[in-house]
Structure 1
Amino acid sequence: MSQPLPRSTLRGHHRVWQVLRAEGELAPPGRLKAGLPRPGVHRFDPRCFTNEEDVLVELAQLGMKRIAPVYRLGPGDMRVHGYIEGEPLSVSRPPGTALSRSEIAQLADLFGQLGTIPPAALERVHACPSFLRPYTSRDFLRGLVRFTRRRVYAVHGPALRGLFHALRVDPAVLAPTGPLVRSAALLADRPFCLLHGDLHRDNLIVAEADGMLWTIDWELALIGDPLYDLATHLHLMRYPPTQEHAVLTRWARVMEGQLPGSTAGLSRDLPRYLAYKRVQSVFTDVIRQAHLVRATPPDELPEQLGRAGELVSAALRGAARTLGLGKVPGPRAVEAVYAAFSAVPTAPSAVPAPAGRAATRHAGP
């Protein structure tokens, strides 16, 4: 979630945080975090709540363990978070490495706590009108695909159409008649609960005091199908294959005990949610890297192009089956596409295809 910057500043995906030393009546809790929105940050995920602070306050009243406290400063509406002293789990357990048994147990307990929080418990701070909310797992996944189609691709795609074409990403995969929406019609129904929505190694803090995991960054919290939270977690955590099965087994046992029916259709429906997450990552990464490449100074551009090549190629590889890609462009080919894109800022549609034409099976109609 955070990256150290000068003067005790942390850069999150959605906000920049100033870490402050508490004084006066707030001194006992220790350090505090005050967040400001990052200008120019684009939204790639739906949200159910206007403010992360609203969610944290409600969760504290519901007895949720190991989350940051929220304090109100002064007579206005400024709210700050208690700072969790420690380091992200990604420092000691980088992506691709296994977690300890204790850490897996704590994550299962976190999912179990979320499973006990029904939609009605957060009705007071829910930002979506009731008539626009999904109430079945099928509608929930349809809504996710629709959000990516309308609020991600439709917003950014027209200016980047040439880039998507060069990478052989067919937006028809997001269409109402595309493979993701068709698979949504096959989902089993599961009861809804609170979802974290972004549970990965950088959003889990290993506390200095006792080594326990604290959960931060509730910006993308949702009310919805618990299987989506699991799919997002598995997609972002990158467990070793040998440990992923143990995580699944532990999740299913805990969730079925806390929220009966939450594991219905698990083996069939988890791949459907994972397919969506992988496709969503492609659209998100292609767009984010395009903006980064355009904003990078010339002397730093080669390094940024290399990062874009590695990241986008990996995302394409993960979603290749759903996208209908016969051959996935490698990092060097993707880097060349972005280099051409950066050289033609006013005409992205002129970006050439990568060398070695890849056979493509259309993902949509």
Structure 2
Amino acid sequence: MTSPSVPDDRQRADEWSARPRLVSSTLKGHHHVLHVWPLEDRTWVKCREPRAELLWFDRRCFRSEEQLLRALKEHRIECVPDVVDIGGVDFQGFIEGRTVGTRRWWSSRRVPDAIFDQLVDLFRETVRITPDMLKAERRCESQDRPEDGDTDSFLERLIVFMQEQVYEPNRPVFEGLFRELGVGDESFDRLRKRVYGLTRRPFCLLHADLHRKNLIVDPRGRLWVIDWELAMLGDPLYDLATHLYLMRYPAHQENRMIQEWCRVVEHIRPGSSLGWEQDLPRILEFKRVQSVFTDVIRESLKLRQRDDLNWAGLPLAAARLHRILTAAAEPLGSKTVPAHPQIMAALVRWHRQAGTRTGTRPKPVPDAS
């Protein structure tokens, strides 16, 4: 079970709660609405309900996030939520605090040194966990488990996933829009040529989604890391690249994180940072292209309001897509990027065409659990 279901497990937690009416369902994460309960020992637990308005375009490696969290605790990674068994159902402990994504820290994008150092410690802890150490059950196919150190195959499987599970199922609806924005089948071939030839590095545990809203600082200043459902085993440099891409550090702090990451992972597992100078830019190119295919779909859908177009949100959506396309222009092989007015016009045309056909709801990644 990836997470407790709603409302059945919510009812079960109510029965165990010290104050069952004190349930909050107004806490929204990036992918979930959180339902929170206080237990008799003053522990708070949470149950996550997927947000209906968001789509999932991410590959899962582990069958149960709660099982993974238990395994991490066994390996003495303490910055993750506890797991509480309530009537045979696992619930995650709720961490009180504020995310690193709050306005207090986001305005300058700089992360306070005390939090920065704890992030470095997290990388030190995860790089020591090898694929053979974790007892958590995996759900990914055998071809998605390349030989330890085969970084090329690791990234290739992520490209295959993006092509076969994100682009192809949604091509009937979005192909015209993708074409107007300068991307299509050939984009994957170009990307493969750009990223092939990575240096071999020993595999380890990756969080694979270390962004500001998944980092919580409690009242004592301790950092907690939540949302491990996208965790995987693979190239340690991929975790750093994803973290840098999502965090958007100021330049000086990004450079410091790279240097600190290299220092700690090499100390724990020599060879983990090998070839980073050549490979980090290439993995970041993959992340930029990945954003094109997922964000074009998401931004397009956000503009739809029943049978009408959200005209007020159109300029902002086009501006976001322009930034994403510009960042990915080189690995996509795009000689020019559509200007802001061209992107707005393409979104309007897609909206009008989508309104004339049925079955235009995009296809999220299938749940194989």
Tell me whether the two structures share a fold, i.e. TM-score over 0.5: yes
CA displacement at 1:180 relative to structure 2 = 2.5
SS of the residue 1:340 aligns to: helix
Alpha-carbon distance, 1:213 to partner: 1.5
Q: Say if 2:116 is the partner of 1:104.
A: yes
Task: Find 1:247's aligned residue among 240, 245, 257.
Answer: 257
Query: Given residue 170 of structure 1, which amino acid in structure 2 is its aligned partner?
Result: G
Any idea what SS the aligned residue of 1:17 has? strand
| Equivalent residue number for residue 133 of structure 2 | 121
Give the 5 Å matches for 1:53-202.
53-75=66-88, 78-91=89-102, 92-94=104-106, 97-130=109-142, 132-135=144-147, 136-174=150-188, 178-202=189-213
1:89: how far off?
0.4
Is 1:322 the equivalent of 2:322?
A: no
Q: Is the 8 A contact 1:9 1:19 kept in 2?
A: no
Could you give the per-residue CA deviations for residues 183-223 of structure 1, whole angstroms, max 9, x where no partner exists? Answer: 44311100000000100111101112x11211011111011
Distance in 2 (alpha carbons) for counterparts of 1:202 and 1:146 = 28
- Structure 2: distance between partners of 1:295 and 1:218: 32
- Tell me the alpha carbon deviations over residues 3-29 of structure 1, each in whole angstroms, 9 at most, x when there is no partner: xxx944223343322122x132xx332
For residue 203 of structure 1, what is the aligned residue in structure 2? 214
Please say if residues 175 and 184 of structure 2, whose CA atoms lie closer than 8 Å, have aligned partners that are also in contact.
no
C-alpha separation in 1, matches of 2:209 and 2:328? 19
Unaligned runs of 5+ in 2: 1-22, 358-369
Asked whether the 8 Å contact 1:34–1:79 carries over to 2, the reply is: no
**Residue in 1 that maps onto 2:32:** 15
CA contact (8 A) 1:89 1:205 kept: yes
1:311-347 residue CA offsets vs partner (Å, 9 max, x unmatched) = 2111111101111222323444322321222222246
- Structure 1 residue 60: Cα displacement: 1.2
Match for residue 222 of structure 1? 232
Deviation at 1:73, TM superposition (A): 1.2
Instruction: Name the aligned partner's letter for residue 45 of structure 1.
Output: D
What is the CA distance between 1:288 and its match in structure 2?
1.3
Any conservation in 2 of the 1:48–1:128 contact (CA below 8 Å)?
yes
Of stretches 178-187 and 189-198 in structure 1, the one that deviates more from structure 2 is 178-187
- Kindly tell me: are residues 253 and 335 of structure 1, through their superposed partners in 2, closer, same or farther at Cα, counting changes over 3 Å? same
- Say yes or no: does 1:232 pair with 2:242: yes
Q: Structure 1 regions of 5+ residues with no counterpart? A: 1-5, 349-365
2:86 and 2:315 mapped to 1: Cα distance? 44
Once residues 86 and 33 of structure 1 are traced to their aligned partners in structure 2, the CA distance between those partners, rounded to angstroms, is 14
C-alpha spacing 1:181/1:304, structure 2 compared with 1 (3 Å): same
- For 2:34, the aligned partner's letter is W
1:249 partner amino acid:
Q
Indicate the residue corresponding to 1:355 in structure 2.
none
Q: One-letter code of the match for 1:159?
A: V
2:180 & 2:193 partners in 1: Cα distance?
26
CA RMSD of aligned residues (A): 2.1
Distance 1:283 1:54 in 2: 31
Question: Residue 310 of structure 2: which of 301, 308, 328 is its match?
Answer: 301
Q: What is the match of residue 357 of structure 1? A: none
Tell me the SS of whatever aligns to 1:262: coil
1:288 counterpart letter in structure 2: R
1:71 and 1:82 in contact (8 A); partners too: yes
Please give the alpha-carbon distance, in whole angstroms, between the structure 2 residues aligned to 1:100 and 1:36: 32
> What SS is found at the alignment partner of 1:47?
coil
> Residue type matched to 2:237 in 1?
L
Secondary structure of 1:121's partner? coil
Mapped to 1, the partners of 2:346 and 2:141 lie a distance apart of: 42
Structure 2 counterpart SS, 1:80: strand
8 A contact 2:109–2:249 mirrored in 1: yes
1:281 and 2:279 matched? no
- For 2:115 and 2:336, how far apart are their aligned partners in 1? 37
Q: Label 1:140 to 1:34 Cα distance change in 2 as closer, same or farther (>3 A).
A: same
Q: Tell me what 1:356 maps to.
A: none
1:199/1:127 CA distance change after superposition, 3 Å: same
Quick check: 2:303–2:311 contact (8 Å CA) kept in 1?
no
Q: What letter matches 2:69 in structure 1? A: L
TM-score, normalised with respect to structure 2: 0.84
Structure 1 252/281 Cα, relative in aligned 2: closer, same or farther at 3 Å?
Answer: same
Deviation at 1:295, TM superposition (A): 4.8
Q: What is the percent sequence identity of the aligned residues?
A: 39
